[in-house]
């Protein structure tokens, strides 16, 4: 039920951003693959996955840092604190917030448990901007190419890269064996 509501909200907010919506749907698909290994915590991961980029929606923009903006938007709507925290902290958020002088804004949200933060970051970094399945190294390379070296996102992702790849590796190493393997 909550996942359906989250999916509908993300669809509505991101419908004018088709690539962002395609990316969010792939992030959700990746989260669905991880969810069985997380037990009851799989549900908030899936909800956060589909909602992770709602901060790009014009109605959610506040600071200009989409992770914080999305989390604030969701908090105003009454989404659970864990969902808001996963949205706030996913991927390179902490580095980007520091670059923008928004660390205090990010701290409005409790840092989520490390394994769930690793999981949502894994899902995000194995999902291309167009919804394709990608490897994390290639995804980070794509982001660095998309933003000029002086851009805040480029600087944040470059600084965060070793930590982000370690997060992805921890998820990959902790995955239960699956028949036919695991994508990415």
CATH code: domain of residue 21: 1.10.3210
Transcribe 124-184 into DSSP letters.
HHTB-TTS-B--HHHHHHHHHHHS-TTSHHHHHHHHHHHHHHHHHHHHHHHPPP-TT----
Q: What is the pLDDT of residue 160?
A: 98
Q: Is residue 181 part of a domain?
A: no
| Count of domains forming the chain | 1
- Please tell me the pTM assigned to this model: 0.94
Digit-coded pLDDT (tens) for 123-156: 999 999 999 999 999 999 999 999 999 999 999 9
> Does pLDDT of 179 surpass 50?
no
Q: Is residue 180 part of a domain?
A: no
pLDDT at 180 over 50: no
- State the residue range of the domain holding 135: 2-174
Q: Is residue 182 part of a domain?
A: no
How confident is the model over 67-88, as pLDDT tens digits? 999 999 999 999 999 999 999 9
Task: Establish if 169 belongs to a structural domain.
Answer: yes
């Amino acid at each position: 039920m909550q996942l359906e509501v989250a999916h509908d909200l993300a669809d509505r907010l991101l419908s004018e951003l088709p690539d962002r919506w395609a990316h969010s749907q792939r992030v959700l698909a990746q989260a669905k693959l991880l969810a069985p290994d997380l037990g009851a915590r799989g549900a908030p991961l899936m909800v956060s996955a589909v909602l992770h980029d709602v901060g790009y929606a014009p109605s959610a923009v506040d600071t200009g840092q989409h992770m914080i903006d999305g989390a604030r938007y969701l908090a105003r709507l009454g989404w659970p604190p864990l969902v808001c925290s996963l949205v706030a902290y996913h991927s390179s958020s902490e580095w980007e917030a520091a670059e923008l002088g928004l660390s205090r804004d990010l701290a409005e949200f409790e840092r989520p448990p490390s394994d769930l933060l690793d999981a949502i970051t894994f899902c995000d970094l194995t999902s291309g901007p167009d919804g394709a399945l990608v490897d994390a190294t290639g995804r980070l390379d794509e982001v660095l190419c998309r933003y000029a070296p002086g851009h805040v996102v480029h600087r944040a992702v470059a600084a965060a890269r070793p930590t982000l790849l370690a997060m992805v590796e921890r998820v990959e190493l902790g995955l239960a064996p699956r028949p036919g393997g695991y994508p990415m």
